[in-house]
Amino acid sequence: MKYFPYTFRRAFVCTLLVSACALALGLTLAFAQWPQWAHDQQHTGAINVAGQNLNNVLANIVYDPFVDQEKAPENGDGDLLVHYQTPLVDGNDVYMEFKSGTYTSITTWETQTWLEKKLSWVSGQLVTQWSFQSDWKPVPFGSPQWEPVFHAALAGNAVYVPGGGGSVYKLDKATGAVLAHYNPLGGDTNIFLCGPLTADSAGNI
């Protein structure tokens, strides 16, 4: 069994908070971009956008319906031991991880399914534009630990989404259509992609 190590919790949580601010503000300026984990290939976790007071909740979205089960005492004394994708911001559009399927226990988290959705600000509301269900699965549970992260990245006119067997899907940002399915490791189900995808300045993943 092979897997790619996932990110440090502290860095991931920080980028989630920064990106959540951009999501809540509904930024539409051209520079309001957060295309990947920690913003860029250097993982600086910073963006040059003037801060605003977070006085109002503009959107309330449930992207993990299993939180109550995941916080059950037998899973860590009420702690939520799950990594989540940073909301990816592209002007007026937001790309987010969503979970579905069935939650059975922390030791069988592979019964869940992971999706990437595009939402856009329309008349002050975040409206779903498309949804893509991936065949990605996390590395099997081995001991009390955090659920690995399913994390996409934006580059050019595409959003790149983790797939099963260490593969990567290239989706059209506008429609969600599959443009390519990269499978360099042969689709071996014992290989797991467990870290955020990263794009460089040239759009290479």
Q: Structural domain of residue 33, as residue ranges?
A: 2-42+61-193
- Phi/psi region, residue 43 (left: phi>0; alpha: psi -120 to 50; beta: rest), is left
Residue 7: its pLDDT value, please? 33
CATH of the domain at 174: 2.40.10.480
CA distance 173 to 118: 8
Number of structural domains found in the chain: 1
Scan for tokens 């189900």, then name that residue.
Answer: 189
Residue 17: its pLDDT value, please? 36
Is position 47 within any domain? no
Chunked into runs of 10 residues, the chain (205 residues) has average pLDDT values of 33 34 39 79 82 85 93 78 91 96 89 96 95 93 80 95 94 98 87 86 89
CA distance 188 to 137: 12
Is position 186 within any domain? yes
Is position 129 within any domain? yes
Element (H, E) at 14: helix 9-25
CA distance 199 to 29: 21
Is position 202 within any domain? no
User: Where does 26-111 have alpha helices with state H?
Assistant: 67-70
Is position 161 within any domain? yes
Residue 67: its pLDDT value, please? 93
Is position 56 within any domain? no
CA distance 168 to 205: 9
Is position 50 within any domain? no
Is position 172 within any domain? yes
